[in-house]
Amino acid sequence: MADISLTFPDGNARSYGKGVTPAEVASSISTSLAKKAISATVNGQHWDMQWPIDADSEIAINTMKDNDAEALELIRHDLAHIMARAVQEIWPDVKVTIGPVIDNGWYYDFDREEPFTPEDLGEIEKKMKEIINRRDPVTTEIWERDRAVAFYEANNEPYKVELIEAIPGDEPLRMYWHGHWQDLCRGPHLQHTGQVPADAFKLMSVAGAYWRGDSDRAMLQRIYGVAFKNKEDLKKYLHMLEEAAKRDHRKLGREMDLFHMQEEAPGQIFWHPNGWTIYTMLQDYMRRQQTRGGYVEVNTPQVVDRKLWEASGHWDKYQENMFIVEVDEEHAREKAVNALKPMNCPCHVQIFNQGLKSYRDLPLRMAEFGSCNRYEPSGALHGIMRVRGFTQDDAHIFCTEAQIEDETKKFIDFLSEIYRDLGFENFSIKFSDRPDTRAGSDEVWDKSESALMAATKAAGCDFDLNPGEGAFYGPKLEFVLTDAIGRDWQCGTLQVDFVLPERLDATYIGEDGAKHRPVMLHRATLGSFERFIGILIEEHAGKLPFWLAPRQVVVASIVSEADDYVYEVVDALKAAGVRAEADTRNEKINYKVREHSVGKVPVILAIGKREVEERTVSTRRLGEKQSKVQSIDEIVTELAKEASPPDLA
């Protein structure tokens, strides 16, 4: 057998027979490595320990201590198979379908007449641990298509037969065995079931799922699981889920009486007075910041004729996400076709195009709190985080190519200050380059990507590449916040666009007296107000910064004789700019405190006979067990200062 040369990470090379497997390579190095190995990296590709190597290659043998991403992928992928095996060992008549790896875990879809119960999940987990402890070998073979079909037909697995029929004819069919149990899979997998950490996974839930996402096909049962490399990481993740449930903005929205949503307006928000207070306070703050940042504010129509969307490219590239409106215009032969605007940029170009612009007018920073509507599938909607109707803190900077770098730096500084004011000290940046569906030539995209990347580096910012996720008209930066429990939220964006000014014929007069195309920088800081408010609610677990809290102070009476003084204190607080309300109901003070604490009121002032006599209040802050006695002047001065937004403090 001919020899091939395998080069290791340390630069050393060894000769092996053609067709050698990584398992054999690991054994040739040391017995301990052969036992600990979980996979290999061959010429940059993740490689199963059993797959043969047929040519000179670079190779690295991976263990659980190496690349976390690859190790977790293997653990989760093997657990999907182990779970399916466990289900069929317990209920042999259940049919299996597919089981991919997803964020933090995996799922597998089953065809079973009886619904899985929470008790069933516990039984499946127990069986999975038995399989892991058996340390059954994982083996693989390549099969001919006819043999695979015959195998699955004989075993009454129609879903597997259908999957094989969907695989291109020239693609090999790889079969994997985990002990006696077999599945069709591309791999790679671990060497034996015992390499899966038995104490680092948990089955989480069951949901319905149509076969292949088709509502006309069978409804299957999907079991979700999570898995990590060790028990400690699993424990941290489960704790994070507990915290996330407590912080869920939908739950807190009900408790704080902020908003509601209903079937008659899917993906739209009904803001209650408390929620709208947060919204308007945040909007006022952003308006002041944008004015300081040199932005001019505009407002544009929500319903625009399709002709503009055709000219901008949105009709071809984005129509599936747009709400179309047909109107019988008077005296018109055909219905007028309009669309609710999904974004503001084409309308801003229309304002830019009114009148002649000079290079002296640039950069022109045009901002709008623009109400947009986008069709999101009903299954993707999520509280106020993912909606169909929303308002962006949107802006477009019309500038020259030479100004891109400076404007990028200014925006990153602008965004950084706002995030700090709102309690987010750090953020990361993703650089998203050209998507498959896009407008503009490769030459234009080369120029756009180079300009944005150079500007980001000049601003002193590191970034991670996010391939193929740019807008259809240009590359973008995505600014990602990390919240109090470690979740990432993509909020702000900055996009460089050479395409739209060309399509919509935007020009300015340069120093040479000739017409030139401006560059258009699309930017948003918060993203949408709706989503960012949801993030703030979850970040602070409803305990919003005092200046944003919709109900800042409740002044509660302990006895009815204190009612007049309660209203006097409320009036004094309101005069000082504090949102205050009275609670003089005939209820015990402990009941009032508990109720307003659930509503996340930051400060409760209790007033009884002694407070009336001494002209004081008993101050209790949310989350604190002890109260503090203060004079009325002291508490008014203290809370008036806290009520001031950070940019005015």
Q: What pLDDT, in 10s, does the model give residues 381-431? A: 899 999 999 999 999 999 998 898 899 999 999 999 999 999 998 889 998
Residue 476 in any domain: the answer is: yes
Residues 457 and 588 in one domain: no
Choice among 223-227, 316-320, 373-377 with the minimum mean pLDDT: 316-320
Residue 146 in any domain: the answer is: yes
Based on the residue annotation, tell me whether 596 is a catalytic residue of this protein: no
Based on the residue annotation, tell me whether 421 is a catalytic residue of this protein: no
Whether the link from the prior residue into 92 is cis, omega within 30° of 0, is no
Angle at 566 between CA 564 and CA 569, to 5 degrees: 115
| pLDDT for the residue numbered 332 | 63
Integer angstrom CA distances of residue 557 from 119, 551, 570, 596, 631: 50, 17, 12, 13, 16
Residues 601 and 501 in one domain: no
Residue 457 in any domain: the answer is: yes
- pLDDT, mean over the chain: 93
**What CATH code is carried by the domain that includes residue 443?**
3.30.930.10
Note the pLDDT tens digit of each residue in 451-461.
Answer: 888 888 888 88
Question: Is the Cα torsion angle 76, 82, 88, 90 positive or negative in sign?
Answer: negative
Based on the residue annotation, tell me whether 345 is a catalytic residue of this protein: yes
Average pLDDT over residues 171-191: 93
Average pLDDT over residues 444-465: 84
Average pLDDT over residues 205-219: 90
Q: How far apart are CA 486 and CA 426, in angstroms?
A: 12
Residues 499 and 609 in one domain: no
Spatial CB neighbours of 72, under 8 Å, sequence gap ≥ 6: 227, 228, 229
Q: What is the domain count for the chain?
A: 4
* Angle separating helix axes 158-166 and 145-154, nearest 10 degrees: 160
Which domain range does residue 93 map to?
72-244
Choice among 80-89, 197-206, 376-385, 612-621 with the minimum mean pLDDT: 376-385
CA neighbours within 13 Å on the CB side: how many for 632?
A: 20
| pLDDT for the residue numbered 601 | 97
Residues 85 and 220 in one domain: yes
Q: What are phi and psi of 615, to 5 degrees?
A: 55, 50
Q: What are phi and psi of 249, to 5 degrees?
A: -65, -25
pLDDT surpasses 80 at 55:
yes
Binned at pLDDT 50, 70 and 90, residue 484 comes out as confident
Q: How far apart are CA 320 and CA 307, in angstroms?
A: 16
| pLDDT for the residue numbered 1 | 55
Note the pLDDT tens digit of each residue in 510-521.
Answer: 999 999 999 999
pLDDT surpasses 80 at 440:
no
CB atoms within 10 A of CB 85: 23
Integer angstrom CA distances of residue 519 from 33, 216, 508: 56, 48, 10
- Please pick, among 136, 394, 483, 583, the residue that the annotation labels catalytic: 394
Residues 97 and 232 in one domain: yes
DSSP 3-39: EEEEE-TTS-EEEEETTB-HHHHHHHH-HHHHHH--E
Residues 221 and 284 in one domain: no
Based on the residue annotation, tell me whether 396 is a catalytic residue of this protein: yes
**What CATH code is carried by the domain that includes residue 595?**
3.40.50.800
Helices (H) and strands (E) in the chain, counts: 20, 33
pLDDT surpasses 60 at 616:
yes
Residue 308 in any domain: the answer is: no
| pLDDT for the residue numbered 176 | 96
Binned at pLDDT 50, 70 and 90, residue 446 comes out as confident
**DSSP summary character for residue 323:** -
> Which element (helix H / strand E) includes 398?
strand 389-399
**What CATH code is carried by the domain that includes residue 32?**
3.10.20.30
Contact 272, 533 (CB under 8 A): no
Residue 269 in any domain: the answer is: yes
Residues 526 and 613 in one domain: no
- Please pick, among 306, 374, 540, 579, the residue that the annotation labels catalytic: 374
Residue 335 in any domain: the answer is: no
- Please pick, among 345, 347, 399, 491, the residue that the annotation labels catalytic: 345
Residue 93 in any domain: the answer is: yes
- Please pick, among 314, 365, 388, 396, the residue that the annotation labels catalytic: 396
| pLDDT for the residue numbered 566 | 97
CB atoms within 10 A of CB 559: 13
Average pLDDT over residues 367-371: 95
**What CATH code is carried by the domain that includes residue 135?**
3.30.980.10
SS3 for 536-565, per residue?
A: HHHHCCCCCCCCCCCCCEEEEECCHHHHHH
Query: Global pTM?
Result: 0.83
| pLDDT for the residue numbered 634 | 96
Residues 388 and 496 in one domain: yes
Contact 499, 510 (CB under 8 A): no
Based on the residue annotation, tell me whether 88 is a catalytic residue of this protein: no
Note the pLDDT tens digit of each residue in 66-97.
Answer: 778 899 999 999 999 999 999 999 999 999 99
591: left (phi over 0), alpha (psi -120 to 50) or beta: alpha
Residues 523 and 566 in one domain: no
pLDDT surpasses 70 at 171:
yes
Cα Dmax for the chain: 102
Residue 310 in any domain: the answer is: no
Angle at 334 between CA 328 and CA 339, to 5 degrees: 65
CB atoms within 10 A of CB 447: 16
- Please pick, among 160, 476, 551, 592, the residue that the annotation labels catalytic: 476
Q: How far apart are CA 364 and CA 358, in angstroms?
A: 10
Residues 347 and 210 in one domain: no
Average pLDDT over residues 337-346: 91
- Please pick, among 392, 495, 552, 630, the residue that the annotation labels catalytic: 392
Binned at pLDDT 50, 70 and 90, residue 438 comes out as confident
| pLDDT for the residue numbered 58 | 95
Q: How far apart are CA 636 and CA 649, in angstroms?
A: 16
Residues 209 and 273 in one domain: no
pLDDT surpasses 90 at 151:
yes
Residues 481 and 355 in one domain: yes
Three-state DSSP at 429 gives: strand
Q: What share of the chain is helix, strand, coil (3-state, %, to 5)?
A: 40, 30, 35
- Please pick, among 341, 357, 522, 620, the residue that the annotation labels catalytic: 522
CA neighbours within 13 Å on the CB side: how many for 145?
A: 11
